[in-house]
Amino acid sequence: MRSRAFPVLTAVAVLLLFYGVPTAIEAGFISAPRALIIFGDLIGCVAIARISWKLGASLYAGLTGIEAVLVQTALVGPSTLLWITDLVPALVLAAFAVALVTVSDLN
């Protein structure tokens, strides 16, 4: 039987991998908001698409559209956009991972 901390550690690892790493890479795109928008959710949404292609594709299209509107209307600047682009896919993947390890503990 795994420790109760295992789901939490799994979520932290997934968030570091799918939020921390891409955000660090995207810091180089800060002067090019369009590149930031396109690359922003790509890694996380591709990983989600490996589980459910419809969810991954629709999430990427929706988030990219929302982020483009936020930048175009100047509601969000590039420095803020850097922190929000990868957040939703990373949270979805963390939820999938926690559900997976929790269900596997029940068996």
Between 8 and 82, where is the model more confident? 8
Cβ-based burial of 103 (10 A; exposed 0-12, middle 13-18, buried ≥19): exposed
Between 17 and 5, where is the model more confident? 17
> CA nearest 47: which of 95, 102, 106?
95
Average pLDDT, the chain: 88
Q: Rounded CA gap, 2 and 81, in Å?
A: 37
pLDDT band at residue 18 using 50, 70 and 90 as cut-offs: very high
- Domain total for the chain? 1
Q: What's the pTM?
A: 0.86
Mean per-residue pLDDT for 90-105? 90
Q: Quick check: is 107 in a domain?
A: no
Domain that holds residue 61: 6-102
Percent of the chain surpassing pLDDT 70: 95
Mean per-residue pLDDT for 6-29? 90
